[in-house]
Amino acid sequence: MSLRQYMMYFYLIAAYIYYNQYIKNSDLTPLIIFLYRIGVVSIILEVLFLFYLIIYDFNNFSFFEGYNYYSHAVMFGLINFGAYALVFKQGVYKWLLFSTALLLSTFLGHASLFLAVFSLLLLYILIRVNLKAKITAISLGVLSIWFLTFLPQFQDANASWRLLFWSEINKIIFLNNYGLLGEGFGVPYVSIDFAFELLNKIGAHGFLDQSRHLERWVSPPHNSFFTICFHTGFISLVLLLTPIKNIVKYFFIDSSKTQPDKNKVFLLLLLFSYMVWVSFNVVLELPHSAMLFWLVFFVSIEYFNSNRYLIK
């Protein structure tokens, strides 16, 4: 269990080694092209896969039920394609391609994927307005999300499970460990008492299923950032995200009167929308998803922090 839980850090270390061996001393243009080609390939394969499901599973197939994708990595692919359409395409073609990515995101069985792709549009609009409008929009967005959590439509078993789990994890992170060291590795994410609390409040019995007696050790809180904080403390997450400070600064620059760098906008959209996806799912704990996230993470840091790549 210790090794299994530590693997999310192994993927980070592997990505960092790759970054130092290739990205840090190379031209970033081929990698940026590679990222939007991942999006193009992913959306083509996903459309073909949906046709396959329609033809060979006609009686049981539903666009809005089940998980209709061939790989978890396609989630990032749809985000890549949406960002590519918004940044590098023009006119009607831009909105047609982005709408395709947004529509497909509703068919794959994850509501948070639609949120991640939709956040591309929100970020794209915010980048193009002045600072006052950005702060106002972000404030309204935070208030809206807070308000929505009180509506019955947003309190189903799935959402309630996450909110209860996140509340418990944050107690462990900030009350038990003061955000400093974390719980380490090889420990269960939830206690027996909390497992019974989930059963009593929302009828969730997964952590008490005798046929899956290791479930408390292998099911993290569906927010990879919380998983990092659980294992090694909140301070470790702050240190990890510190290098993106220039990316955050760029977002708040008043670009309404200037022509922004398209590569910067593309990477900013990718990274922030990836972070939305990571905030609702088990992502950095899995190799096929983690490596894509860390690739964008390190490419973005290098592009924004190095003057070598700021001149087109």
**Per the confidence metrics, is the pTM higher than 0.75?**
yes
Tokens for 197?
């609390």
Q: State the pLDDT at residue 311.
A: 45
Q: Cα(17)–Cα(15) distance, rounded to whole angstroms?
A: 5
Distances in whole angstroms, Cα of residue 2 to Cα of each of 15, 156, 185: 21, 33, 5
Phi, psi of 215 (to 5 degrees): -60, -35
Q: Cα(169)–Cα(234) distance, rounded to whole angstroms?
A: 11
Q: Cα(276)–Cα(261) distance, rounded to whole angstroms?
A: 23
Q: Cα(79)–Cα(305) distance, rounded to whole angstroms?
A: 23
Q: Cα(263)–Cα(242) distance, rounded to whole angstroms?
A: 21
Residue 12 identity: L
- How many Cβ atoms are within 10 Å of 39's Cβ, its own excluded? 23
Q: In terms of Cα–Cα distance, which of 156, 162, 279, 164 is closest to 229? A: 279
Q: Cα(165)–Cα(169) distance, rounded to whole angstroms?
A: 6
Q: State the pLDDT at residue 44.
A: 92
Q: Cα dihedral sign for 156, 157, 159, 163?
A: positive
- Identify whether the C-beta of residue 79 lies closer than 8 Å to the C-beta of residue 277: yes
Q: State the pLDDT at residue 38.
A: 93
DSSP character string of 230-252 = HHH-HHHHHHHHGGGHHHHHHHH
Residue tagged 């001149």 (tokens): 311
Q: State the pLDDT at residue 19.
A: 86
Q: State the pLDDT at residue 147.
A: 64
Q: State the pLDDT at residue 312.
A: 45
Q: State the pLDDT at residue 43.
A: 92
Tokens for 204?
């969730």
- Identify whether the C-beta of residue 94 lies closer than 8 Å to the C-beta of residue 85: yes
Would you write out the chain's pLDDT as a tens digit for each of its 312 residues?
Answer: 999 999 999 999 999 998 888 877 778 888 889 999 999 999 999 999 888 888 887 667 777 777 888 888 888 999 999 999 999 999 999 999 999 999 999 888 888 888 899 999 989 988 888 878 788 878 877 776 666 566 554 556 777 888 899 999 999 999 998 888 899 999 999 999 999 988 888 888 888 888 888 899 999 999 999 999 999 999 999 999 999 999 998 888 766 666 778 999 999 999 999 999 999 999 999 888 899 999 999 999 989 887 654 444
